[in-house]
Amino acid sequence: MGSYHAGSCTATKIKISFSLFLLLVGVASAQLSPTFYSTSCPNALSTIKSAVASAVSSEARMGASLLRLHFHDCFVNGCDASVLLDDTASLTGEKTAGPNANSLRGFDVIDTIKTQLESLCPKVVSCADILTVAARDSIVALGGPTYTVPLGRRDATTASLSAANSNIPGPQLNLAALISAFSNKGFTAREMVALSGSHTIGQARCTTFRNRLYNEANINASFATSVKSQCPSSGGDNTLSPLDVTSPTSFDNAYYRNLVSQKGLLHSDQQLYSGGSTNTIVDAYISNTGTFRADFANAMKKMGNLSPLTGTNGQIRTNCRKIN
């Protein structure tokens, strides 16, 4: 009888241990899913979509800004909304990093979406998911391809100024450095060229391309002259010029056509078509816009899957600017 009880006790312990093991395994390998909010917040996606559509119709450039927010989030320790955190006495955020300061925008749009979602379904939808979906909806709002966004990311409770300064590819990089920066995040050279196509929308500040305008030879002369009128050799650092001079508010493949004509605004843009290994990819995207759209959509989906926090990691911030 005693041995039966002992065996029963052992069996119970094993069962509990196995349940605990399954729970831990489940948490560790929690997967993102497109239907993550289908019961917990069924109107989450439509709420984000209408807010983005409204913001982009008010100012087309906002679509590019929201896309860039997502990119600058994911390249720094994964897609965890760390980029949205404001500095506090105990936390240094990423907003003052070189690639972000006086440059990242769209935080107010994310705040608006978060406020709407908190009133719909409190403490359910993460800021990281809002950023990821808003980027996709921005692309669509400007005529770009749609794609399914897996959901279930959670929000970081930390940020990294140093990682933001070192991980985000800058406008002065040459082709080898661009390929390396994206390779470090698991992207092929082709995916890097596809993602660079996001520069078919949006604008850049004079300070990021002045050196190219005044000191580089592989630039279309009339294009350089017209941009110099907006970007003097000194001063006017924050004066804006469109990254795609042809159709700056349409998501199309004109960005690549501009490169062939040596009308890339940034040094890093023109590097994609300067006699190097990526020329053929640019040519492919010019000759077949469907190929570009498909590659871009797949690369964006891949970027949204960079090191997300899932399961019990991180938290669901109620205010995207601060930790709960």
**Taking Cα atoms as reference points, which of 278, 202, 186 lies closest to residue 240?**
202
- Which active-site residues does the annotation give? 72
Tokens of 147: 């794609």
Residue 111 among known ligand-binding residues: no
The CB density around residue 304, as the number of other CB atoms within 10 Å, is 26
Residue 76 among known ligand-binding residues: yes
Residue 56 among known ligand-binding residues: no
Residue 199 among known ligand-binding residues: yes
Element containing residue 203 per DSSP (H, E): strand 203-205
Q: Which residues contact 254 (CB under 8 A, 6 or more apart)?
A: 200, 244, 246, 247
Rounded-to-integer distance, Cα 226 and Cα 163, Å: 36
Residue 52 among known ligand-binding residues: no
The CB density around residue 20, as the number of other CB atoms within 10 Å, is 10
What's the alpha-carbon Rg for the chain, to the nearest Å?
Answer: 23
Residue 80 among known ligand-binding residues: yes
Element containing residue 241 per DSSP (H, E): strand 240-242
Residue 86 among known ligand-binding residues: no
104: left (phi over 0), alpha (psi -120 to 50) or beta: beta
Residue 73 among known ligand-binding residues: yes
Residue 157 among known ligand-binding residues: no
The CB density around residue 321, as the number of other CB atoms within 10 Å, is 18
The CB density around residue 287, as the number of other CB atoms within 10 Å, is 11
Residue 242 among known ligand-binding residues: no
Rounded-to-integer distance, Cα 265 and Cα 223, Å: 9
Phi then psi dihedrals of residue 242, to 5 deg: -70, 140
Integer distance in angstroms from the first to the last C-alpha of the chain? 53
Residue 275 among known ligand-binding residues: no
Q: Which residues contact 147 (CB under 8 A, 6 or more apart)?
A: 136, 297, 298, 300, 301
Binding site for substrate, by residue number, is 169
Q: Mark the binding-site residues for heme b, compressed into ranges.
A: 199
Query: Binding site membership: which residues?
Result: 73, 76, 78, 80, 82, 94, 169, 199-200, 244, 252
Residues of each annotated binding site for Ca(2+): 73, 76, 78, 80, 82, 94, 200, 244, 252
